[in-house]
């Protein structure tokens, strides 16, 4: 086996990674995983965290750039400052996103536009800026978009968010074709992940446990679960993977029709998730 093949494909030493929204939740898990793998990591967000709260590993901390990536100039500035400081950009993880729950009939025009801007337009802006740098590098680069199962199924209560995430999947496919062969573009389609936001959304520990029971693997995902897939997609192990959606959802959700059959006829012939 030659030295190139013997090298650890998940060693990102000497690589530079940008993670949007990388200070909290899933983004923090992604940032810390890339730091642990040896990368230099730049995160961005609208509010600057205290230095002690920056993602860190082994005494190394992420670099913060303040930006609202819904603005094209600010999104571009994150990439420009990163490449200017480190001389390169190897990986962009478009993680910033989310939406509060609002019934579709009550959602204001401003609310809809802001949700779509954060979850679809901002990743487009960041990807454009990253592509300009990566196309000039001999090694090219990798862009990983963080999607959601809300983009694959109905998203009641967060209709604009679901529509934006569906658009992000299509954007991933289009950019993968346009920017090949230098830049690979993939999407992590995340299911329900246990974060502080999820704790609030599902009503604490009891609600989280009830939701986890609907997942075939018997638990909610973690930021590390999502981060591991990001590392894989950005690595040489995924060198022939582009334009793909990797669904990270623990097997999906327990089908509602089976629950209805169970409650109506007492049929336990199908095992429930988690035992």
Whether pLDDT at 271 is above 50: no
What CA–CA distance (Å, rounded) separates 90 from 47?
Answer: 25
Which H or E run contains 168?
Answer: helix 159-178
What CA–CA distance (Å, rounded) separates 126 from 48?
Answer: 19
* Tokens 């093949």 belong to residue: 5
Task: Clarify whether 202 is annotated catalytic.
Answer: no
Q: Are 140 and 134 in contact (CB under 8 A)?
A: yes
- Residue 1 pLDDT grade (very low, low, confident, very high; cuts 50, 70, 90): very low
DSSP string, 217-271: TSS-B-HHHHHHHHHHHHSGGGTT--S-EEEESTT----HHHHHHHHHH---SSP
For 26-35, 67-76, 209-218, which range has the lowest pLDDT when averaged over its residues?
Answer: 209-218
What SS3 class is residue 194? Answer: coil
* Tokens 């590392």 belong to residue: 231
pLDDT score recorded for residue 188: 98
Better pLDDT: 63 or 6: 63
What CA–CA distance (Å, rounded) separates 111 from 4?
Answer: 50
Q: At what angle do helices 72-86 and 122-134 cross, to 10 degrees?
A: 30
Whether pLDDT at 25 is above 60: yes
Structure-derived torsion over alpha carbons of residues 67, 69, 71, 74, reported in degrees to the nearest 10: 40
The predicted model gives 252-258 an average pLDDT of 84
Better pLDDT: 246 or 211: 246
pLDDT score recorded for residue 85: 98
Mean of pLDDT over the chain: 92
Which H or E run contains 161?
Answer: helix 159-178
At 105-151, the pLDDT tens digits run 999 999 999 999 999 999 999 999 999 999 999 999 999 999 999 99
pLDDT score recorded for residue 200: 63
- Residue 6 pLDDT grade (very low, low, confident, very high; cuts 50, 70, 90): low
What CA–CA distance (Å, rounded) separates 75 from 222?
Answer: 27
For 4-18, 48-62, 221-235, 261-275, which range has the lowest pLDDT when averaged over its residues?
Answer: 261-275
At 161-174, the pLDDT tens digits run 999 999 999 999 99
Calculate what percentage of the chain has a pLDDT beyond 70: 91
The predicted model gives 49-74 an average pLDDT of 97
What pTM value is reported for the model?
A: 0.91
Calculate what percentage of the chain has a pLDDT beyond 90: 82
The predicted model gives 198-209 an average pLDDT of 73
- Residue 273 pLDDT grade (very low, low, confident, very high; cuts 50, 70, 90): very low
Whether pLDDT at 255 is above 70: yes
Beta carbons within 8 Å of 173's beta carbon, 6+ residues apart: 243
């Amino acid at each position: 086996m030659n030295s190139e093949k013997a090298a650890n494909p998940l060693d990102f030493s000497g690589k530079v990674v940008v993670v949007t929204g990388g200070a909290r939740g899933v983004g923090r898990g992604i940032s810390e995983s890339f730091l642990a793998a040896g990368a230099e990591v730049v995160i961005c967000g609208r509010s600057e965290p205290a230095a002690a709260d920056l993602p860190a590993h082994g005494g190394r901390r992420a670099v913060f750039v303040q930006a609202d990536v819904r603005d094209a100039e600010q999104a571009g500035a994150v990439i420009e400052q990163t490449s200017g400081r480190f001389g390169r950009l190897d990986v962009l993880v478009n993680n910033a996103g989310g939406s509060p729950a609002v019934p579709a009939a009550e959602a204001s025009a401003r609310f809809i536009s802001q949700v779509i801007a954060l979850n679809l337009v901002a990743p487009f802006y960041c990807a454009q800026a990253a592509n300009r740098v990566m196309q000039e590098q001999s090694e090219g680069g990798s862009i990983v978009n963080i999607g959601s199962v809300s983009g694959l199924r109905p998203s009641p209560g967060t209709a604009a968010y679901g529509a934006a995430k569906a658009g992000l999947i299509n954007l991933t496919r289009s950019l993968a074709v346009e920017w090949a062969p230098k830049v690979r573009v993939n999407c992590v389609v995340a299911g329900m992940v246990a974060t502080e936001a999820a704790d609030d959304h599902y009503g604490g520990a009891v609600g989280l446990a009830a939701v986890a029971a609907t997942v075939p693997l018997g638990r909610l995902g973690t930021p590390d679960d999502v981060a591991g897939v990001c590392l894989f997609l950005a690595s040489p192990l995924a060198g022939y993977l582009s334009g793909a959606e990797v669904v990270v959802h623990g097997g999906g959700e327990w089908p509602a029709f089976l629950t209805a059959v169970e409650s109506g006829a007492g049929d336990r012939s199908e095992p429930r998730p988690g035992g």
